Amino acid sequence: MSARPVYVAGVGIHPFGRFEDKDVTALGQAAVRDALSEAGVGRGGFQAAFCGTVYTGVAAGHKVLGGLGLSGVPIVNVEAGCASGGAALGLGAAAIASGQRDCVLVFGMEKMPRGIIRSSFFPPWCEEAGFSPAPAYFAMRARRLMLESGVTREDLARVSVKNHAHGVHNPYAMYRKPFTMEMVLGAQMVCDPLTLFMLCSPNEGAAAVVLSARPGPVAPAVQVRAAVLRSHVPGSALGEHTPMSGLVADEPPGPTETAAREAYELAGVAPSDLDVVELQDTDSGREILSIEELGLCPRGGGGQFVADGAGEMTGRLPVNPSGGLLSKGEPLGASALGQVVELVWQLRGVAGKRQVDGARVALGHTVGRGANASVVVLTR
């Protein structure tokens, strides 16, 4: 992405939550309107659109833009599981960087069913046999952290307490109440060691970003320095591709690690350069695993990172100041772009009580079904 700089010219978000009175198209349109308005871009002002969504079905992005009188440009609908928005952002950024487009619209939206995510990923016999529940896989990854990274049940609870404390200040989050250690540890056990309040809720929402070869009207200008998507390499029985087997030896790096390496190289930054991070916290253990895989601490150092409070607002690297998915909920197609919107506000210095002072380098991360992982680096 060295050819031309890629600027974020405008951002928009529809709150994440439950909205019985709106369909998914209306959610997407709200975010798109706000992003285009902030960028000062209307019909004819962008040359392509990329829409991340998983559950919406045929022509999802076309319905959003068609209803706003904005169709005519190429509209590409992108499914990459939890990383769908990151995948869409990567396509948009590449179109700008290469010189193919001068301005593009990237958006994502979702309206998820309640409860455990049901996915067409698993054939019916896998569901019948009990292989489908995502929290069971999350729980085993969390247990591995307990075995290999010194993570305790209290550490898992602490992540949830931290993110919910952040979410109190986020008007776009679904849950805006503080949680105590006792509440999180004492909540219903879903899959040991994960309780209900250590798991995020699938929900509804939308986010949108206008990318441009030139800075937008809002200063300071924020640049996309990397937007990388990677899939899994087989070998790990615990990989996000949820295989039925893996190897005892030679466990390969996961897609988060490979995407992060590439993103750091493209952006010319190291983990120590980061000021603020929004990362995948589908469950408390996932946040700690993401911290390790992104290189924010040494492998095996996740428990210490949490115990040190390193990811708190007062810590050395605030993690999920938005409240993360634990507070916001996870609308798959929108979650990665929701992170980008938060990070743009952080870099502009307008995040209010969530603001990380002086943030200049930011990283966003999502990972999930596919497997897919996306890592985004933004700077001002």
Partner 1 sequence: MAQVPIHPGLFTPPGDPRGARLLAGRCPACGKHHFPAAGTCPYCTAEGCEPVALGAAGTLYLYTVVNARPPGYRGDVPYGFGIVELPEGLRVVSRIAETDLDVLQVGLPVKLEIAPLFTNDAGDEVLSFAYRPDETVR
Give me the active site residues, please.
82
Q: What is the contact mask toward partner 1 in residues 171 to 190, using x (rule: CB under 8 A)?
A: -----------------xxx
Nearest distance in Å: CB 181, partner 1 = 21
Report how many residues bind partner 1 under the rule CB under 8 A.
Answer: 40
DSSP line for 252-294: PPPHHHHHHHHHHHHHT--GGG-SEEE---SBHHHHHHHHHHT
Phi, psi angle pair for 255, to nearest 5°? -65, -30
- Cα gap 123→226, rounded to integer Å: 35
Query: Assign residue 158 a region: left if phi > 0, alpha if psi is -120 to 50, beta otherwise?
Result: alpha
CA distances from 327 to 71, 123, 330 (A): 34, 31, 9
Nearest distance in Å: CB 138, partner 1 = 9
Helix 284-293 vs helix 153-167: angle between axes, to the nearest 10 degrees?
A: 90
Nearest distance in Å: CB 111, partner 1 = 17
Nearer to partner 1, 128 or 357 (CB): 128
Nearer to partner 1, 128 or 265 (CB): 128
Of residues 40, 178, 182, 192, which one binds partner 1 by CB under 8 A?
192
Name, in order, each residue with C-beta under 8 angstroms of 357's C-beta and a sequence gap of 6 or more: none
Sign of CA dihedral 374, 34, 18, 160: positive
Q: What is the contact mask toward partner 1 in residues 106 to 145, using x (rule: CB under 8 A)?
A: ---------xx-x---xxxx-xxxxxxx-xx--xx--xx-
- Cα gap 287→40, rounded to integer Å: 36
Interface with partner 1 in residues 227-246 (CB under 8 A): 234-235, 237-238, 242-246
Nearest distance in Å: CB 125, partner 1 = 4
Q: Which of 89, 356, 358 is nearest to 225 (CA)?
A: 89
Strand pairing report for 372-379 and 222-231: antiparallel
Nearest distance in Å: CB 167, partner 1 = 24
Q: What is the contact mask toward partner 1 in residues 69 to 108, using x (rule: CB under 8 A)?
A: ----------------------------------------
At residue 211, the 3 state secondary structure works out as: strand
User: Are residues 324 and 355 in contact, defined by beta-carbon separation less than 8 angstroms?
Assistant: no
Of residues 58, 248, 314, 358, which one binds partner 1 by CB under 8 A?
248
User: Are residues 32 and 12 in contact, defined by beta-carbon separation less than 8 angstroms?
Assistant: yes
270 binds partner 1 (CB under 8 A): no
Interface with partner 1 in residues 315-334 (CB under 8 A): none
Nearest distance in Å: CB 81, partner 1 = 18
Of residues 32, 191, 210, 276, which one binds partner 1 by CB under 8 A?
191
Nearer to partner 1, 292 or 312 (CB): 292
2 binds partner 1 (CB under 8 A): no
Nearer to partner 1, 115 or 171 (CB): 115
Nearer to partner 1, 147 or 219 (CB): 147
Nearest distance in Å: CB 243, partner 1 = 7
Q: What angle do CA 360, 91, 342 make, to 5 degrees?
A: 35
Q: Which of 92, 12, 78, 90 is nearest to 46 (CA)?
A: 92
Nearer to partner 1, 12 or 239 (CB): 239
Nearer to partner 1, 139 or 206 (CB): 139
- Cα gap 284→325, rounded to integer Å: 10
147 binds partner 1 (CB under 8 A): yes
The alpha carbon torsion through 54, 16, 160, 145 (nearest 10 deg) reads: 10
Binding interface with partner 1 (CB under 8 A): 115-116, 118, 122-125, 127-133, 135-136, 139-140, 143-144, 147, 188-194, 234-235, 237-238, 242-249
